[in-house]
Homo-oligomer: A and B are copies of this chain.
Amino acid sequence: MERVVLIGAGRLAFHLGQALKSAEFNLMGLYNRTADNGKELAEALDADLYLSYTEIPKDADWYIIAVSDSAIAEVSHQLQGVNGMVTHTSGSVDLDALQQHAKRGVFYPLQTFSRRKAVRFQDIPMLVEGVDPETEEMLVGAAARISHRVERIDSQQRQYLHLSAVFACNFSNHMYAIAEMLMRSRGMKFDLLHPLIVETTEKALEKGPYSVQTGPAVRRDQSTLDKHVTLLEQHNWAELYKLISESIQQNTP
């Protein structure tokens, strides 16, 4: 499984393409709808650039669809007639989205990518799923060439993983954002909290977040909880504060 065609030239394609090239995969070419991003990445990867689906060779061993979730089905359809393995790279799209293809799979790097920021791909968990044992075996082997953390998970587990990432990343970021807004409303800068956030996050990653929960909710410090709800009534977060505090109290070690 060597001759690879990459579809897409977004942030994920950008970093994944470079990881594959470093691992000495044979990147035949890159498809992108538009020349702008495509050209830069094709040059970086020393690969051909295809700007229409008809240009994509039918005889590659592996087609990697690295486009936005909503475009995956359309790309899969356009790839009809190829014989190689076809995989998407999404955390939230089912394997069945590729059902036109006999050898289908998922090749999902669990990380968020910025165009300008380098990543150590070796440290990124690669989560793979194949339609059959043979396909899955090939994907595990390919993933192991670019990352030292490879796991097989099925589509249902991947749904849960994506949901978990929403809590752990998007929602925890929103908790920071609420803190930032509250502080700003009283003339304080968010970066006062940086050392505390760094310390708390380190502890959660080291010991597991469930076991290190602190704060007024877990202490059942009702007078502080009441004071906070009163402060929040002039903002929009009193209900949210109560619901999260209750969830903490219901999930205490």
Could you tell me which A residues sit within 8 Å of B by CB distance?
A: 69, 92, 110-112, 114, 123-125, 127, 149, 151, 153, 156-157, 159-161, 163-183, 185-188, 190-201, 203-205, 208-210, 212-218, 221, 224, 227-228, 231-232, 236-237, 239-240, 243-244, 247-248, 250-251
Contacts and interface: CB of A to CB of B under 8 A. Distances in A.
Each complex incorporates copies of this chain amounting to 2
A169 B247 contact: no
Given A192-B110, A196-B112, A208 B180 contact: yes
A243 B178 CA distance: 13
B181 A163 contact: no
A11 B134 CA distance: 56
A194 B187 CA distance: 33
Contact of A170 (B112, B174, B185, B213): B213
11 contacts: A112-B214, A159-B227, A166-B215, A168-B179, A168-B200, A169-B193, A169-B196, A170-B216, A172-B172, A178-B247, A180-B209
